[in-house]
Amino acid sequence: MMSSTNSSSPSNIEIKYTKIFINNEWHKAESGKTFSVINPSTGEEICQVEEANRVDVDKAVEAARKAFEIDSPWRKLEPSARGSLMRQFASFLRRDIDYLSKLETLNNGKPVEESIADINVSADCIDYYAGWVDKIVGETIPFSHDSFVYTRHEPVGICGQIIPWNYPIMMLAWKLGPALACGNVVILKPAEQTPLTALYCAALIKEAGFPPGVVNILPGDGPECGNAIAIHEHIDKIAFTGSVEIGKKIQIAAAQSNLKRVSLELGGKSPLIICEDVDLDFAVNIAHRAIFNNAAQNCTAGTRTFVHAKIYDEFIARSVALTKKRVIGDPFDSNTKQGPQINESQFNKILDYIESGKKDGAKLECGGTRVGTKGYFIQPTIFSDVEDQMQIAREEIFGPVMSILKFDDYDEVLTRANDTSFGLGAGVITKDLTRALSFAQRLQSGSVWINDYDVICNQAPFGGFKQSGHGRELGRYGLEQYYEVKTVVIKLV
């Protein structure tokens, strides 16, 4: 279902920041270059943003190195004072949520209500990690009677952070929160498709009182700016969220430079297994949300929906009926549930996958075409009769395409669910608790959701198995990526 328009957006959103943020100051790119930022709802330019390159990365590294010196204002801060700065930043996110949510929707295309939710969750994430600053503790270790042994958890140093375009503010918070809580300094590159809210957040970081050089935000592309961060000899750690292809390149660059620490959160092809004992409407609604949330631009999207043969036909019928009611269009319209895909390249890629599904013999139940003539809107699409070897069942589409696969044996479906190079998320819907817990144990993924899907909280770790990455974000485990462990041994004399 379409909303009345699919191309409007408020014309009065002022774009306040388009420059590079280094050392708490705004800079033009050393190259003199800018790049275009596009509104995915219209395909039209929003503004030009300064394009950082290797020279700008070098400038940011120098600022960060100075900020990380042992006698710098940042390093001298008591943990509680560091936490207060983080809480102030979080409070400014909430204070400016009306402007920020509109800016996020203008740049990313997600419905504005979802942008509001993302910003609230992001502020909560910063607050959560602010609470950790005085609890990052080592331990005393028993040794000989005349020795005292203890450990210290110390910040890694300069952290390069490269974030994606699907959750711009949330990914910024996931990266900044644990890094700052541990006392690191940061060089963050937002996705070139969605730099605007990250740059606004830079202004809030300065307003909150963070010392110069602690957080530096550099808009730019991956091959130039992102690569310069990955290969830099004075950046001590890199965190990346994005594709497997780029994740591999970053890991190679880290190894070939200074062997910097790397944490990666990459793609997914997540299975959702629906058993025959479910309440059907309940299962249909969860499966619908699992794939179509955020226009299916979600690394954990439940793109492989395995449905028991006994309920297969009815599940398809009800899923199609629900999907045809989904409102697509103007993300500033309160009735809209699905906005555009992020850009023309991704839009065309998704349509190509839909064509491959048809060609491979899957049955197109609904959707499959673009919506409107402006912007990058695609109908939510359902394929049935999908086989495991089909391209739409093997590759990450990152678009609103649900693939429904039939099964009738539980051991078999677990084998099929695990038959993927990914392992980020998985779900099972059943009333049988024993079966659910058995599935949770046997599914090869970083998160398993039972009778729900894609439920993420700041307190619980998030990350992947296999080629979905390594390292964890969020929770106590997220801190481990941002501190070194030092052992101190004292001879008692």
| Residue positions annotated with a catalytic role | 265
Q: Distance between CA 184 and CA 298 in Å, rounded?
A: 28
189 and 161 in contact (C-beta within 8 Å)?
Answer: yes
Helices (H), 232-367: 244-256, 280-292, 312-324, 344-360
Residue 26: closest CA among 50, 47, 62: 50
231 and 265 in contact (C-beta within 8 Å)?
Answer: no
Token representation of residue 340: 């555009």
Radius of gyration of the CA atoms of the chain, in A: 23
Q: Distance between CA 385 and CA 127 in Å, rounded?
A: 46
Q: How many CA atoms lie within 13 A of 250 on its CB side?
A: 30
Going edge to edge, which strands form the sheet with 237-241?
A: 25-27, 20-22, 215-217, 185-189, 158-162, 237-241, 261-265, 469-470
136 and 478 in contact (C-beta within 8 Å)?
Answer: no
For residue 46, give the 3-state DSSP assignment: strand
Pairing of strands 425-429, 261-265: unpaired
User: Residue holding tokens 């607050």?
Assistant: 127
Residue 272: closest CA among 163, 478, 429, 52: 429
Q: Which residues contact 454 (CB under 8 A, 6 or more apart)?
A: 289, 290, 293, 298, 300, 301, 302, 425, 427
Give, to the nearest 10 degrees, the angle between helix 168-181 and helix 196-208. 30
40 and 345 in contact (C-beta within 8 Å)?
Answer: no
Burial 71-93 (b: 16+ CB within 10 A, else e): ebebbebeeeebbbbbbbbbebb
Q: How many CA atoms lie within 13 A of 309 on its CB side?
A: 6
Q: Distance between CA 28 and CA 34 in Å, rounded?
A: 9
